[in-house]
Chain A
Amino acid sequence: MSTATEAAVIDAHVHEDHHDEHHEQSFITKYIFSTDHKTIAKQFLITGIFWAFIGAAMSVIFRLQLGFPDADLGWLKPILGKWIQVDGSLDPNFYLALVTMHGTIMVFFVLTAGLSGTFSNFLIPLQIGARDMASGFMNMLSYWFFFVSGVIMFISLFIETGPASGGWVVYPPLSALPQAMPGSGLGMTLWLVAMVFFIASSLLGGINYITTVINLRTKGMTFSRLPLTIWAFFLTAVIGLLSFPVLFAAALLLVFDRSFGTSFYLSEIYIGGEALSNVGGSPILYQHLFWFLGHPEVYIVLLPALGITSEIIATNSRKPIFGYKAMIISMMGITFLSFIVWAHHMFVSGLNPFLGSIFMFLTLIIAVPSAVKVFNYLTTLWRGNIIFTPAMMFSIGLVSVFISGGITGIFLGNSAIDIQLHDTYFVVAHFHLVMGAASAFGLLAGVYHWFPKMFGRMMDSRLGYIHFWLTFIGIYSVFFPMHYIGIAGFPRRYYSFTNFDAFSGFTDLNMFISAAAIFTFVGQLIFLFNFFYSMYRGRKAPANPWKSNTLEWTTPINPGHGNWVGEIPQVYRWPYDYSKPGAEDDFIPQTVPYSETMESNLPHENDMIALEKEEAAEEVVVDAKSAH
């Protein structure tokens, strides 16, 4: 780095130091239209929790239908109104609407916005040593676009024809033709509008995350010293930036087909006693475009969870994460491969079988970096000194569900085996464990771990343990039995199974799953209570409650605008110096120079001391210059 640019950087820092003596803000600029990354993160988190409860409640309602098909749901009439039929059963159209909205809400609003939005925003500046995001204004827009998207989606729940109901993938022609089902009318239009806002929000956020990570790292924070959380958020943002525009294209063409008479996806349709004039379109085109986002989306929700877990497992095992570089390479591998596996969702869609073979090959390759990550987690735990904080419990739980859900991907990625399993409950079990539960566990782990930094107070750990065990047992009770039902061939999105002899069994297991779903849902209320109770009445947090190495714990307990009082600390080492032989404590924060830890330095680290000194000397010169 030349002296001139360095001077500029330092000058900028000096300038930014004025941030911590900022004027009093009004309630609106401080909590509502805030440009502070920490406030925006909390906004994303609380909105995400709100949507998580709505999405989970929907799943409870349709599980009631599946587990207890004869039950009288009349008591839901005050909420669902006409969607409860005269005999007290759920309307089949509304069942599909619930399934669709559950998927949309959970994938996009909870696990994309709630997870990336919360933790990328919160942790990127704090862990790389930046005052805020590259653009606070864009960051604020990102949240408010998301908010608008949520409002539109929420309104769509209450319209007369019901919300979108063609499954969260909204395949045309079903989603394109209002005469095909009531949910394809206004509900679908609102879905598309909401998604457009959501995509805009994701892109604004993503650009910001990438820019911030590349440009605003503090002195000494090289890419090879970034915590794995930041690597994960960074790569997630890259995936989102490249794939969300394609969903936008897919949605736009669908809008054209729906409203302007084009035939991108429609061809040779006879519906409602009438032959439509559309010819030449291809329903498969939509599937390609959708899954070009849809598959990377899986990693958009999963990678942040894996990053969070890496950080928490290392901290609470009191050990460096095993294979830091291998972890980064795996994540890069996953990032790259996530773009070239999408057609494995379409093996039996009429796709050219040769393409199917190619995508089978690429899909099974992606299992390798995922396996490497699991082995690295296990080795990190091996001979550690494991402290079971609630965050650590959820991280261990994540690794377990990630394994259990991940290996079933090897069945589904094999096109020959997928013929039978495609669109059965086996798929439901697979993705709920590997992407739903794993990401949700990552989200919860992150909340427990960084709650002290967010609110300056601790969450109650006993309630955390109870919450973990209820959730962990609950999640496995809900999704593991679905494998059996799936192997038996039960198709997804069925309102009832009584029409078929082949699917008439397993009423007991379906009942069990539904009961477990209710149990798991109720268990989340403990979290909700703990979260809001601790926000106001939790014990005051110490500065570094988990004895962690990363930069966010060097800020004040309640960091203000600009994060650090005075200068931003410099970084001298990687974030995983836990239990280093010779060191007094079992952790050495990133801000401790090698010159102060002679007793624990590895040979090559001693060489760094000279470098540190050189840099310090340079800085003094620059300071003297800039004083003029």
Chain B
Amino acid sequence: MFGFYIALAVFLVVAILLLIFRITRLVNVVKGTGEETTQTSNNINGALMMLFMVLFFGLVGWYSWANFDAYEPPVASEHGQLTDKLFWRTMWVTFITFFVTNVLLFYFSWKYRYNKNRKALFYPHNNQLEYIWTGVPAIVLTWLVISGWMAWDGIMSEAPEDSEQIEIMGYQFAWSLRYGGMDNQVGDYDYRLIDAVNSHGQDFSDRAGFDDFQFRDLVIPKGKPVLLKIRARDVLHSVFIPHMRVKMDAMPGMPTQFWFVANKTTEEMRIEEGNPDFNYELACTEVCGRGHFSMKKNVIVLEQDEYDEWKADQKSWLSKNPEYMSQVPDNLKELAVVTAGINE
């Protein structure tokens, strides 16, 4: 019944609008007006241009100012501070351009609206002007390119030797983490070795993997480089840690990586944000299917000593799943038993 009333209301509104349209049209035909763009309609539209401009910039200015904290996520990594600086630099340059050109556009539209007593200026070209407005943007853009270039170069450089190695693997629809363990090396894998338990397809002929362990959350130390070794098991995914300004696609068959240094612990961020429930999060930003929007991992940033303590407490994956000892080659079995910490 409710639907019927809505339909009826819509029908009536449309009918009334059509009636108004028809009547104004007939009136115009009788009066002989409305044939051309009139002075009045030019004035109204010109004035609306100015009104639009004022409202538009007013709203943009107000919203940008009043809600700054809501849309600017706090930054918690070293390179993130640099890219944020570039972001805001670009923001100022572009905002000025955006403001000036839009204001000129609307102002000219108003100021030079049609007047039958005036003739437009015949002004087909001016090469001087063309050179200036080719040259100036080129110079400004070069400046932005060079600063972006330098930042990009640093962010994408080789990870430092002492980085904490953590493998993050995306699959439909979650992330799974494997830590390098005491030797800080994540062991080899082979996708054909993946089964229900060995979800990463760890290859036990590689001794670097014996002490690897898995953990539910991404736990990283503050102030120390962390190297994410990124891969996917089925389709594309993308690692995104908004507060760390980290993003890199995860692909099956083509491992990628991203290294960064977190510079605020979860605890520090909770105090800074005044939110005791704050947690860093990791999300997926490459569409991967039905559960794309739910691929969340918690990220926990600890002080170095807390991290070391936590890490020392972790049991290797092999020690938790000793049946996989059968996949370890005979000559490495003894080593595996020791490094995986099985004999306890």
Q: Give the interface of A toward B (CB within 8 A).
A: 75, 92-93, 96, 166-167, 171, 173-174, 177, 180-181, 266-271, 273, 275, 279-284, 317-326, 348-350, 353, 356-357, 360-361, 364-365, 367-368, 371-372, 374-379, 381-389, 393, 396, 399-400, 403-404, 407-408, 410-411, 414-417, 419-420, 422-424, 460-463, 465, 469, 472-473, 476, 480-481, 484-485, 487-489, 491-497, 499-503, 505-506, 539, 576, 578-581, 586
B6 CB, nearest partner CB in chain A, Å: 9
9 A-B pairs with least C-beta separation: A267-B253, A353-B156, A489-B242, A350-B256, A268-B253, A416-B151, A579-B120, A414-B148, A407-B94
Q: Is the CB of A357 within 8 A of B149?
A: yes
A75 touches B83 (CB 8 A): no
CB pair B254 A411 closer than 8 Å = no
Interface residues of B in 228-251 (CB under 8 A from A): 233-236, 238, 240, 242-243, 245-249, 251
Q: A275-B194, A382-B121, A494-B293 are in contact. List 12 more A-B contacts (CB 8 A).
A: A96-B287, A348-B238, A372-B133, A378-B108, A382-B104, A386-B46, A400-B102, A403-B101, A417-B86, A423-B286, A491-B293, A580-B122
Q: Which of the residues B41, B80, B196 comes within 8 Å of A388, measured between beta carbons?
A: B41
Q: Is the CB of A494 within 8 A of B70?
A: no
Bound complex: CA A270 to CA B247 (Å) = 23
Q: Which of B34, B105, B153 contacts A399 (CB 8 A)?
A: B105
Complex alpha-carbon distance, A465 and B292, angstroms = 42
B254 partner, pick from A181, A283, A322, A348, beta carbons under 8 A: A283
Given contact pairs A353-B156, A364-B144, A400 touches B125 in the complex (Cβ within 8 A): no
Closest chain-B Cβ to A77's Cβ sits at a distance in Å of: 12
Interface centre among B243, B245, B251, B279 (most CB of A within 10 A): B251
CB closest residue in chain B, given A356: B152
State whether B120 touches A385 (Cβ < 8 A): yes
Give the distance in Å from the alpha carbon of A563 to the alpha carbon of B342 in the complex. Answer: 89
Partner among B56, B137, B148 whose Cβ is within 8 Å of the Cβ of A476: B56
Known contacts A270-B201, A403-B105, A419-B247; A473 and B252 CB within 8 A of each other: no
Residues of B within 8 A of A382 (CB): 104, 108, 112, 121, 123
| Residues in B lying within 8 Å of A, measured CB to CB | 3, 21, 24-25, 34-35, 37, 41-42, 45-46, 48-49, 52, 56, 60, 63-64, 67, 70-73, 80, 82-83, 86-87, 90-91, 93-94, 97-98, 101-102, 104-106, 108-109, 112-115, 118-126, 129-130, 133-134, 137-138, 141, 144-145, 148-149, 151-153, 155-156, 171-172, 191-192, 194, 196, 201, 233-236, 238, 240, 242-243, 245-249, 251-254, 256, 277-279, 281, 283-294, 296
Residues of B within 8 A of A485 (CB): 71
Cβ contact of B42, chosen from A171, A388, A410, cutoff 8 A:
A388
Q: Are B87's CB and A322's CB within 8 A?
A: no
Q: Do the beta carbons of A386 and B285 come within 8 Å of each other?
A: no
Minimum distance in angstroms from A340 CB to a CB of chain B? 15
Check if A174 sits within 8 Å of B235, measured CB to CB: yes
A494: chain B residues within 8 A (beta carbon): 292-293
Tell me how far the C-beta of B21 lies from the nearest C-beta in chain A, rounded to whole angstroms.
7
In contact, B149 and A367 (Cβ under 8 angstroms): no
Question: Do A365 and B141 contact each other (CB < 8 Å), given the known contacts A419-B155, A462-B34, A494-B292?
Answer: yes
Separation of A323 and B141 alpha carbons in the complex (Å): 22
Which chain A residue shows the least CB distance to B280?
Answer: A502
9 A-B pairs with C-beta separation under 8 A = A269-B234, A283-B252, A323-B130, A350-B248, A365-B138, A379-B123, A393-B45, A487-B73, A579-B121
**B191 with A275: CB separation less than 8 A:** yes
Whether A422 contacts B247 in the complex (CB less than 8 A), given A275-B194, A384-B120, A411-B90, comes out as yes
Contact across chains for A348 and B122 when beta carbons are under 8 A apart: no
Give Cα distance in the complex from A164 to B165, angstroms: 37
> Please, which residues of chain B bring their CB within 8 A of the CB of A326?
125, 130
A388 to B110, CA, bound (A): 10
Complex Cα distance A27/B141, Å?
57
Q: Is the CB of A282 within 8 A of B172?
A: no
Given A416-B155, A501-B278, A502-B281: A386 in contact with B109 (beta carbons within 8 A): yes
The answer to whether B24 and A462 touch across the interface, beta carbons within 8 angstroms, is yes
Please indicate the chain B residues that have their CB under 8 angstroms from the CB of A492 in the complex.
285, 287
Whether A368 lies near B234 (C-beta < 8 A) is: no
Q: Are B281 and A500 in contact (CB under 8 A)?
A: yes
Query: Nearest CB to that of A378 among chain B residues?
Result: B104
Complex contacts, A371 vs chain B, CB 8 Å: 133-134, 137
Contact among A171, A322, A360, A505 for B125, CB-based, below 8 A: A322
By a CB distance below 8 angstroms, the chain A residues around B133 are 371-372, 375
With A and B bound together, what is the CA distance between A244 and B8 in angstroms?
Answer: 48
In the assembled complex, the Cα of A319 lies from the Cα of B112 at a distance in Å of: 11
- The residue of chain B having its C-beta at the shortest distance from the C-beta of A381 within the complex is B108
A476 to chain B: which residues have CB within 8 Å?
56
Choose among A96, A410, A462, A503 the residue that contacts B90 (Cβ–Cβ < 8 A).
Answer: A410
- B191 closest partner in A (C-beta): A268
Contact B41–A465 (Cβ < 8 Å) = yes
- Cα-based distance from A349 to B256 in the complex (angstroms): 8
A375 (CB) vs chain B CBs: closest residue: B133
A166 contact set on B, CB distance < 8 A: 287
Q: How far is the CB of B94 from chain A (nearest CB, A)?
A: 4
Which A residue sits closest to B108, measured CB to CB? Answer: A381
A265 (CB) vs chain B CBs: closest residue: B253
Give complex CA distance A473, B201 in Å: 54
Are A416 and B152 in contact, with the CB atoms below 8 A?
A: yes
Given contacts A319-B123, A416-B83, contact A502 B42 (CB under 8 A): no
Knowing A283-B236, A350-B256, the reply to whether A317 touches B120 (Cβ < 8 A) is yes
Note all chain A residues with C-beta closer than 8 A to B291: 92
A524 to chain B, nearest CB (A): 14
Q: Is the CB of B73 within 8 A of A489?
A: yes
A501 to B299, CA, bound (A): 12
> Which of A323, A462, A489 has the most CB atoms of chain B within a 10 A radius of its CB?
A489
Complex Cα spacing A181 to B45, Å = 50
Chain A residues whose CB sits within 8 angstroms of the CB of B124 once the complex forms: 320-324, 576
Query: Please, how many angstroms separate the alpha-carbon atoms of A586 and B121 in the complex?
Result: 10
Given A364-B145, A387-B37, also A501-B279 (CB < 8 A):
yes
Residues of A close to B108: CB separation below 8 A? 378, 381-382, 384, 386
A472 proximity list for chain B (CB < 8 A): 52
Q: A75-B3, A349-B249, A388-B42 are in contact. Are A417 and B90 (CB under 8 A)?
A: yes
A497 CA to B284 CA in the complex, in Å? 12
Inside 8 A of A92's CB, which chain B residues have their CB?
Answer: 290-291, 293
Provide the bound-state CA to CA distance between A492 and B144, in Å.
26
Q: How far is the CA of A400 from the CA of B108 in the complex (A)?
A: 13
The answer to whether B97 and A279 touch across the interface, beta carbons within 8 angstroms, is no
Contact A386 B144 (CB under 8 A): no
Given B52, B109, B149, which contacts A381 in the complex, CB threshold below 8 Å?
Answer: B109
Say how far B224's CB is from chain A's closest CB, in angstroms.
Answer: 20
Chain A residues with CB under 8 A of B83: 416-417, 419-420
**Residue pair A323, B125 in contact (C-beta under 8 Å):** yes
